[in-house]
Structure 1
Amino acid sequence: MFEIEDIREWRGREVIDESGSKVGQLEAIYVDTATDQPSFATIKTGLPTRQRLVFAPLSGATVGPEHLRVARAKKQIKNAPAISTDGELLAGDEQAVFDYYDMPYRAAPDERRLARR
């Protein structure tokens, strides 16, 4: 895995899928509040007038010279839960992101599991 301090510098760089297809541009990193480790990336996708931010897990991701490669297929990422480009992931919507990728989710009803960094 990579250090969160390093990946913060990557905003706006290309994100590619497991086969090398371009998915979009890196917008933000969400860390797991229990471990303070990078957990999800938001990727800006869509047409310039209809862009959105989709979530992709960072487990298995690697950093290349000018890109971030995520270990998921482009089609799966494009259909993932999304927020508007000026939106924020609400605590009540976190579980849907984890469920979409078949990842375990544990957080108290009044706690956030993910925090944007």
Structure 2
Amino acid sequence: MAMFDVDDIRDWRGLPVVDKDGGKIGKLEAVYFDTATEEPSFATVKVGLPGGGRLVFVPLAGARVSPGHLRVIVDKKTAKDAPSIGTDGELEAAEEPGIYGHYGLDYQVGANGERRLGRR
């Protein structure tokens, strides 16, 4: 999974998220954790115009923090085409499989049917 401390990633909220080639995707809004492992697995990144926009989900596996930004291993177009929620919206459990599927990742609900992603 991601190679950074969870507490550290929260400090990056509002800073730029860039793709593997350094292209700006948007600004980090929140971190979602895998409820089974407690590891950070996705970030929401604000894209679009100031005062509007949406939050896209970007995987954190392989992400790196550096001074001034967070670099993820997906490309900008894939990230911007990812499933999204409104800037004041909430992720519904039924939307989780689509997020994983967009990135070619396997999705499994918890052993007791619990959802996979939780925001902190």
Q: Do they fold alike, i.e. is TM over 0.5? A: yes
2:36 match: secondary structure: coil
Select which of 4, 7, 10 maps to 1:8.
Answer: 10
With the length of structure 1 as denominator, give the TM-score of the two structures. Answer: 0.96
- After the TM superposition, which parts of structure 1 deviate over 2 Å for at least 4 consecutive aligned residues? none
| Equivalent residue pairs, number | 117
* Aligned equivalents of 2:77, 2:55: Cα separation in 1: 14
Alignment map for 1:71-110 (pairs within 5 Å):
71-108=73-110, 110=113
Residue 110 of structure 1, CA deviation = 4.1
Residue 49 of structure 1, CA deviation = 4.0
Hey, what does 1:114 align to over in structure 2? 117
Q: Deviations over 1:87-106 (max 9, x none)?
A: 11111110000001000111
Select which of 38, 51, 71 maps to 2:40.
Answer: 38
Residue 3 of structure 1, CA deviation = 1.1
Do 2:52 and 2:87's aligned partners in 1 also have CA atoms closer than 8 Å?
Answer: no
Residue 50 of structure 1, CA deviation = 3.1
Hey, what does 1:29 align to over in structure 2? 31
Gaps of 5+ in 2: none
1:10 match: secondary structure: coil
1:77 match: secondary structure: helix
What is the percent sequence identity of the aligned residues? 56
